[in-house]
Structure 1
Amino acid sequence: MTAAPAENTTTPESAVSGPRLPETMQAVIVHGPENYQLETVAVPRPGPGEALVKVEGVGICASDLKCYHGAPKFWGDANRPAWAETEVIPGHEFVGTIVQLDDEAAQRWGVTVGDRVVAEQIVPCWKCRYCLDGKYWMCQPHDMFGFKRRTPGAMAEYMLFSKDALVHQVSADLPPAHAAFAEPLSCALHAVERADIHFDDVVVVAGCGPIGLGMIAGAKSKNPKLVIGLDMAQDKLDLALECGADLVINIGTDDAVARVKELTDGYGADVYLEGTGHPSAVGQGLNLLRKLGTYVEYSVFGSDVTVDWSIISDDKELDVRGAHLGPHCWPAAIRMIESGRLPMDKICTHQLPLADFQKGLDLVASGKESIKVSLIP
């Protein structure tokens, strides 16, 4: 292998392998809330230790939608820092093929030109106290693909993997939308790990969208006594059964709290995984858990949530845990998708061309016609 170039030098063309590339590409550019535009921009060029990837598919996440609509968590207010910046290319769940990289990048990631790859959504700094302590997913600068200008995302024909990225290979046999699902599935599996599920547990998953279905599949793999899925859409509940739920409850027609207590001799569930992002699901979970139960919150909320905290303390002494991103779960998520265990054709309901990004956002906003919507550049 050739020696890695110094940080302040420009990579010579001979040090980067790959085909000759076009000068420009199509990309979605963020100009502010509800102001995303498809534009022609320059194809990025990889620097030392970086890789250029031709994007094959990029999923649209619920957090993408909240960012698009200007939720304070993403655009910031007086009390919370902004995650999103203008003039950035969005998209943090993706798959692509490496088209250019140098020896340094090839050696670090164990990949070469032509390999099919995904990258974790976080690009750690590897210098802050969290990264140095091995908790890279809580990195203090918290650069994530698609939210910061220095880490452009995947709603484009090409994207860069910086030298700090975490890269994983994925089968070339998977459809692009299926391969890109490794991101939400890894997140769901991390939430399951945070739940510390045991064999005799009754586990309730709120929401049977992309994250919730992944939670159901992950929870089932832990072999608890019972996995229960909650949703208002019968088609999603049917899909939850295919993903491993033992039974499902339609909260539009049934009282989930009463039903779960009926199934548990009046005690309540041992574990509740929240994956809806709807404020009502929080109180629902606190009420249907047994004393000393475990509540895991994964969702990104568009507004503040108010609950009776005495349920957590004086009433039940609950363990309430957050879950963020999908640390250390990407290999397991990729294996699960490649195994064929999940009904991926039914989960990945819509694949649209990049130019139809607005239609994709609208489909996710509706939530009635789709489960996972992806763009195919």
Structure 2
Amino acid sequence: MADLPSTMTAVVVRGKEDYRLEQVPVPQPGPKEVLVKVLAVGICAGDAKTFDGATRFWGDGKDIPCYVEPPVIPGHEFSGEVVALGEGAAIHHGVEIGDLTVSEQIVPCHDCRYCQRGQYQMCIPHDVYGFHQVTQGAMTQYLLYPAKALVHKVPKTVDPFHACFVEPLACSLHAVELGNIQFNDIVVVSGCGPLGLGMVAGARQKSPKCLIALDMQDWKLEVAKKCGADIVLNPSKVDLQQEIKTLSEGFGCDVYIEATGHPSSVVQGLNCIARMGRFVEFSVFGKEVSADWSIISDTKELTIVGGHLGPNCWPKAIAMIAENTLPMDEIITHRFKMINFLEGIKMVLKGTDSIKIMLIPEN
């Protein structure tokens, strides 16, 4: 620790639309804790919606509690080089000084009902990097992995910026698993942002009969083709329901994975999906979404599955990144210095000119 600075520059969340660059202490690793130098950090749509004041994160003062615990450093998509180890940390986490690592965004308690069942993504304490006091995030220079963190080594041949994409890809793979994709399925992925493109790549590995990607931006659809989509459609330019009926002999798609976070995509999916189809919802919405539940029940008898985080999918995500399965240099469209974090957040909120935006920690 002698060679490390005592303070570091960090983005600090103080409130809605109140994010500041501040000097904060460099954390010191305690027993079984790991200190990493942050090499890259992504801006998630959830980060942008938090900045924008989404009820999901700030609560409504009534039924929805506040999820964010300011002041807190944001950032849960990251890669980091191990620079210091607390007592017992090397054996506990299986890492050494100099290792390239990622850590799952949730630091579970390992003790609650869900953790005991292996469903740690639903852990009751639910401490996530970048949102809670005990799990400060990565929009800074150094990051502490707590003793209970789920840490993974990444081959050093992997670009640290590519390694940063392991987090959203693991989430995408979880959504694909929830869809229970079969060989004869027609699968639709709605949205070709970071999560959607990861879902396309993951669904491709399941070898469905037909894999269709949807997006309102044609240039993103071209990237989806490189991720494995058989067919790409722009809902603003075609009669989507009719197109999918034509491709499915009139039945509709068997699996619809929603990855836009826009209410219209939910309604669209309910209309396009086949009877007894499987609808996977994997988005954070800025507000409540209304839909005709009679379609879910009486009309189509659908299976609706919600997805959260990427439990048990991180090793596969790391392998896919290491094997260059995805066109990472086209998915990572922008890199900003940390001082320009606000420009990056606003670009994520706009959504039309970027896919994955990453920040470069200050030196």
TM-score range, shorter chain: over 0.9
Question: Which of 167, 176, 185 is the aligned partner of 1:183?
Answer: 167
1:75 and 2:58 correspond = yes
Residue 135 of structure 1 pairs with residue 103 of structure 2: no
Tell whether the 8 Å contact from 1:116 to 1:172 is kept in structure 2 after alignment: yes
Aligned to 2:34: 51
The one-letter code of the counterpart of 1:36 is Y
1-structure distance, mates of 2:347, 2:286: 18
Instruction: Give the aligned residue type for 2:19.
Output: Y
Q: 1:161 aligns with which of 138, 145, 152?
A: 145
1:267 has 2:258 as partner: no
1:156-203 per-residue CA deviation (whole Å, 9 max, x = no partner) reads: 000100000000011222222211000000000000000000000000
* Letter of the 2:222 counterpart: D
**Distance in 1 between the 2:335 and 2:320 partners?**
21
Say which is worse superposed, 157-166 or 254-263, in terms of deviation. Answer: 254-263
Q: Could you report, residue by residue, the CA deviation over 1:10-60 in whole angstroms, capped at 9, with x for unpaired residues?
A: xxxxxxxx5521111000000100010011111111111101110000000
Match runs of 1:292-371 below 5 Å? 292-371=276-355
Root mean square deviation, CA, Å: 0.9
CA distance in 2 between counterparts of 1:215 and 1:257 reads: 21
Q: How does 1:24-103 map to 2 (within 5 A)?
A: 24-77=7-60, 78-103=62-87
Q: Does structure 2 retain, via aligned residues, the 8 Å contact 1:19–1:100? A: no
Partner residue of 2:215 out of 216, 231, 234: 231
SS of the counterpart of 1:31?
A: strand
Residue 22, structure 1, aligned to residue 22, structure 2? no
After TM superposition, give the deviation of residue 140 of structure 1 in Å: 0.5
Q: Which runs of 5+ in 1 are unaligned?
A: 1-17
The CA deviation at 1:103 is 4.3
What is the match of residue 242 of structure 1? Answer: 226
Note the C-alpha offset of 1:153.
Answer: 0.3
Distance 1:363 1:97 in 2: 28
Q: CA–CA distance in 1 between the matches of 2:325 and 2:171?
A: 18
SS in 2 for 1:232: coil
Cα distance in 1 for partners of 2:66, 2:323 equals: 38
Q: Which runs of 5+ in 2 are unaligned?
A: none
Paired with 2:298 and 2:288, the residues of 1 have a C-alpha distance of 23
Instruction: Specify the SS of the correspondent of 2:187.
Output: strand
State the Cα distance separating 1:362 from its structure 2 match.
1.3
Give CA-to-partner distance per residue, 1:46-93, whole Å, 9 cap, x none.
111101110000000000011011111101121112221111000000
1:289 is aligned to 2:273: yes
Paired with 1:237 and 1:19, the residues of 2 have a C-alpha distance of 49
Q: What code does the residue aligned with 2:119 have?
A: K
Q: Take 1:83 and 1:169, find their aligned partners in 2: how far apart are those partners?
A: 29
**d(CA) in 1 for partners of 2:59, 2:69:** 10
CA distance in 2, matches of 1:38, 1:219: 39
Structure 1 residues 60-69 or 71-80, which shifts more?
Answer: 71-80
Give the structure-2-normalised TM-score. 0.98
CA distance in 1 between counterparts of 2:321 and 2:238 reads 32
- CA distance in 2 between counterparts of 1:309 and 1:229 reads 25
AA partner of residue 12 (structure 2): I
| Identical-residue share of aligned pairs (%) | 55
Q: Which residue of 1 aligns with 2:182?
A: 198
Distance 2:162 2:267 in 1: 33
Supply the AA of the counterpart residue of 1:224.
P
| Conservation of the 8 A alpha-carbon contact between 2:49 and 2:349 | no
Q: Which moved more, 1:167-176 or 1:316-325?
A: 167-176
For 2:234 and 2:113, the matched residues in 1 are separated by: 44
Q: Provide, for residues 336-364 of structure 1, a one-character-per-residue CA deviation record: whole Å limited to 9, x for no partner.
A: 01101211000001111111101110111
1:144-155 equivalent positions in 2, closer than 5 A:
144-155=128-139
The structure 1 segments of at least 4 consecutive aligned residues displaced by more than 3 Å after TM superposition are none
